[in-house]
Structure 1
Amino acid sequence: MARDVQITFDCADPAKLAAFWAEALGYRLQDPPGDFASWEEALEAAGVPPERRNDASALRDPDGSGPRLFFQRVPEGKRAKNRVHLDVRAAPDLEGEARMKALEEEAERLVSHGATRIERHEPDPPLGAGHIVMADPEGNEFCLD
């Protein structure tokens, strides 16, 4: 039996990191529960104190095909390289210079939203198509592939 998958990010600022990944992936903030018009309204009604209203955030793929992304506040900072990372498929059908040009354009766009560029890996046929290693605003590594 296939299972739904949720990807969880431990972070310092769930709202900020969710906004970055929404921009990077074309996802959107999960709708508030019930008939609430906003998360602020829902959290107020639930009695969540203002200082706890950024403890978590979640994103959904608008098409419903991708996994839910969940961001939870943790007290400790990132300490080491990720053992698992996301590959953002920014140029899956392109090769060579056209592929790297598309990846460079996406890297520039994401840097303007708070990402950091780490390094570029040139195409190395037959197995290496080329990619760019990036980090999100809290230092979590991901690849533009």
Structure 2
Amino acid sequence: MTCDVQITFDCADPAALAAFWAEALGYRLQDPPAGFELWERALEAMGVPPERRGDASAVIDPEGVRPRLFFQRVPEGKQVKNRVHLDVRAAPGLRGDERMAALEAEAERLVAHGATRLRRHEPAEPLEPGHLVMADPEGNEFCLD
């Protein structure tokens, strides 16, 4: 049996969070269904009331390999630390100063798009090559690894 995986984010602003993660991961917004040029028209045809049309958004990997990310509006805000988080592999195969410099450069790029830098974990070889803990615009933690 083959299973696909979708990662779902509960959030306050699906469009904004989808745009952030598309930028962070090199994804793109999912196209509207066939026959529709714009999501607004597709949602109207589906009978979705105007006040509910911003309740969800999704981004996809342009290569079709990595999982789809789905963002859904929920009424409550984030309460505690994530139990599951994404590791953004920004420096695979790199070690030491070269690795940390690559992670710092990626952190700077993502901060410009709304992320927050939380903390830096220095390399402690051989098992911990070092990483940065970040938060997306709604406070969901993720690591630059």
Moved over 6 A (4+): none
Q: May I ask how many residue pairs the two structures share in their alignment?
A: 145
Letter in 1 for 2:71: F
1:44 aligns with 2:40: no
Aligned to 1:95: 95
User: What is the TM-score normalised by the length of structure 1?
Assistant: 0.97
TM-superposed deviation, 1:49 = 2.2
Matches within 5 A, 1:102-121: 102-121=102-121
Aligned to 2:72: 72
Does the residue aligned with 2:105 lie in a helix, a strand or coil?
A: helix
Q: Percent identity?
A: 79
2:9 & 2:134 partners in 1: Cα distance? 16
- Residue deviations 1:3-59 (CA, integer Å, cap 9, x gap): 110000000000000000000000111110121001112112223222211100111
Listed as ranges, the gaps of 5+ residues in structure 1 are: none
Listed as ranges, the gaps of 5+ residues in structure 2 are: none
User: What is the TM-score normalised by the length of structure 2?
Assistant: 0.97
1:61 & 1:54 partners in 2: Cα distance? 21
Matches within 5 A, 1:1-145: 1-145=1-145
1:97 & 1:38 partners in 2: Cα distance? 46
1:59 & 1:4 partners in 2: Cα distance? 15
Does the residue aligned with 2:142 lie in a helix, a strand or coil?
A: strand
After superposition, the CA RMSD in angstroms is 0.8
